[in-house]
Amino acid sequence: MSYTLFISDLHLEEENPKLTTVFLDFLKNHAGKTESLYILGDLFEVWIGDDDDTPFNQLIISALRAFSKSGSRLYFLPGNRDFLIGKKFCKRAGCKLLSDPSMIELYGKPILLTHGDSLCTQDKKHMAFRKKTRNFFFKKFILFKSLKKRRELAKRIRQISKNHTQKSQDYLMDVTFSEIPVLLDKYHLATLIHGHTHRPSIEYFRHHSQWACRIVLSDWDKEAHALRYDRSNKYLMEFP
């Protein structure tokens, strides 16, 4: 096992069985082969709580648990769609829950991980939503509601989000690039990996007289990709 994988923004849901099959095959193909898999948020289209024990959710959790039992380590960093994922989910799935952002070290190289929505500072409505949903007491308030109420609330929020995305200018849906060096400086790092924007790329730029790297993970809306990082310090976007 000499490589590590990163994925984000799958937006899994019961209504899209084809995508679910692609993801399950991806886990089976890499189980016991990759050293680690990092999921950087929005694995699910929506997650209303670890107590939402639907057959679909059980299927995904079982597949993740089988992957983690294969010897490959599994890490999860919540996104804006699945911010309610908690310790119960991670225990059942066999994954470690990461904070946003998180610093890791791979093959001797320090790397910063984030979902990415915290960098979209020009989207004021989303930033306000993000601030609220990351609040401990707000999450407790939501989880206190019944599953039925949470499903209704999630449906309304998804529709509001869809309308907002359709009406917003394109630049609002991307990160504010000036925030990237600020974040890297805060953690004294030169490599950032994130998702959220659905604009996959591997970008190098000059920062403090040296090269820095930003990697944007692919969404799985139309075509599934994963970022592969190996011991030779090479990054590669590849099909699962």
pLDDT tens track for 198-226: 999 999 999 998 999 999 999 999 888 99
Q: What is the average pLDDT across 52-70?
A: 98
C-alpha to C-alpha distance for 224 and 237, rounded to whole angstroms: 10
**Domain assignment present for 237:** no
More confident residue, 26 or 222: 26
Q: Taking the complete model, does pTM exceed 0.85, yes or no?
A: yes
Q: Is residue 83 part of a domain?
A: yes
CATH number at 176 reads: 3.60.21.10
In this structure, what token pair is assigned to residue 88?
């119960």
- Locate all alpha helices (DSSP H) within the chain, ordered by sequence: 17-30, 55-69, 87-93, 124-133, 136-144, 147-167, 179-187
Domain annotation covers residue 121: yes
Q: What would the DSSP string read from start to end of 37-99?
A: EEE-S-SBS----TT---HHHHHHHHHHHHHHHTT-EEEE---SSSTT--HHHHHHHT-EE--
Q: Decide which of 77 and 125 is more confident.
A: 77
Choice among 46-60, 162-176, 179-193 with the minimum mean pLDDT: 162-176
pLDDT at 1: 58
CB 10 within 8 A of CB 240: no
Write down the pLDDT at residue 196.
95
pLDDT band at residue 68 under the 50/70/90 scheme:
very high
Q: Is 200 helix (H, G, I), strand (E, B) or coil?
A: coil
> Are 217 and 8 a contacting pair, CB within 8 Å?
yes
How far is the CA of 25 from the CAs of 19, 20, 60, 157, in angstroms?
10, 9, 12, 30
How far is it, in rounded angstroms, from Cα 6 to Cα 218?
A: 10
Q: Is residue 149 part of a domain?
A: yes
Checking if the pLDDT of 9 tops 70, the result is: yes
C-alpha distances in Å from residue 109, one per residue of 28, 64, 188, 191, 214? 28, 26, 12, 9, 14
For residue 82, pLDDT beyond 90: yes
Domain presence at residue 236: no
Question: Is 146 inside any structural domain?
Answer: yes
Six token digits for residue 2: 């000499």
pLDDT band at 85 (very low <50, low <70, confident <90, very high): very high
Identity of the amino acid at 174: D
Q: What is the phi-psi region of residue 209: left when phi exceeds 0, alpha when psi lies from -120 to 50, beta otherwise?
A: left
Question: Could you give the 3-state DSSP secondary structure of residue 111?
Answer: strand
pLDDT of 122? 92
Q: Does residue 239 lie in a domain region?
A: no
Share of the chain above pLDDT 90, in %: 82
In a domain, 153, yes or no: yes
pLDDT of residue 172 exceeding 70: no
Domains identified in the chain, total number: 1
| Residue owning tokens 């059980």 | 58
Say yes or no to pLDDT of 171 above 80: no
Mean pLDDT of 35-56: 97
Residue 136 lies in domain: 3-231
What is the reported pLDDT for 158? 83
